[in-house]
Structure 1
Amino acid sequence: MNRSLALVLAIGAGLTTASAIAQAPAAAAPAAPAAAVAPPPQAIPAKIALIAFEQGVFATNEGQKTVQDIQKKYEPRKTQIDALSSEVDSLKKQLQGAPATLSDEERATRLKTIDTKEKQLTRDAEDAQNAYNADLQDAYGKLAQKFSATVKNYVSQNGFTILLDVSNQQTSNVMWINPSTNIDVTQAVVSAYNASSGVAAPPPSAPSAARPRPATTTPRPAATAPKQ
């Protein structure tokens, strides 16, 4: 075999080997580890607390005492208004029982007097009521701030996850709650507040003195559920 033929055979053998290597399957790359699957979220059982916030504020010893103090403040004005109201009623009865011989001029004078006193009575009653409501609103706002702190501490310490205020059914979004799945904590919070405030229970108020309620426009701090 001459050198040229040997060289051709050697080159051919090298090409055949290279072709075989090129056609051989590549080694599989190591598989990447599977991504960890996040566990599904777990539902946390809710422990629901209900509270009549506004009623609770006035049910405390401090709330009852505050209301009684405000009522005493306005007793003199109430007495004056009651006296004026009685006077108007008396003048009306006198006019109704007046003899038929009463002159038109005298009747007109009496009617004017009654009208003047009725307008005065209306003004005095409205002014007194507005002033009374303003004092009550102011007192409620101050008490509500302190009462709210007690509410938050109570629900947090007792493991509640949700707190719903059912003070006013007209503005509340709560339509119905199964009574077996919630706890009314109003009285418990009132007792806790009384214990921390140190204010003794006031003597019972007069039977005719109804406990007032603040208007719904009163800003009230929200007693939110505690962080878990």
Structure 2
Amino acid sequence: MREKILFENEQHRNHLSKDLGALAGLLFEIGSNRMVIEKNALDFLNKEIEKIEKAKTRRRKEVKEDENEENTHSEMQYHLARLGNSLGYKVWIARNDHKREWNNQKLGEFSVKNLKTFNFPPTVADTIALIDVLWLGQDDKVIAGFEVEKSTSIYSGILRLTDLSLSIQGELCQFYLVAPEKREKEIKAQLLRPSIRSLDSQSISYLLFHDLRCDCDAMCKFGNDITILNKISRIV
């Protein structure tokens, strides 16, 4: 093979490099199937088709997972909104989620139309308006705040609740993260961060999807106020 390579390089030396670099590069392209020639054309095409099909399958899976996560997120907001209304509270659904649906009902149907932010700075007011669910008293003061977490950063939800907490210092308010069972360890780790533990203005509990889903009807029927959540909420 070496002799053949040297011979061919000599025959075409006006077009190839003296150190065999050009010819070696050509042979590498052919050997690694990166150059399509008659002998490997079919294999090359089959491999390309296989790559495309795998990419499509992966993308369909990702889209389905995203859709399932969005549906679950809406479901949890639906349960929290229904429970809040049954306990006699007004409910605020995150501003950008009013048109989402669960159980053939738009989430905005459970929500007050406008959130009174009591002269909060505009940036804080915008952040609070994006909290997934708020329970409000008849005086529009916040009773509880809920952040539903799925695949997004749990820390971002904690920060939104922290902004709310710091904005209503001195008022009694409960804060909750709502998340799937598989993220319970992550929730605990985040809530144990020194930067979170050092905040005297808040105490964040968490609710698991399974508990809220299974016990919502019973809490709607037998609950009188927010203390009904003590039955299923967990504290780190």
Which structure has more RCO (C-alpha within 8 Å, separation ≥ 6)? 1
Would you say same fold, with TM above 0.5? no
Larger radius of gyration: 1
- TM-score of the superposed pair, with normalisation by structure 2: 0.29
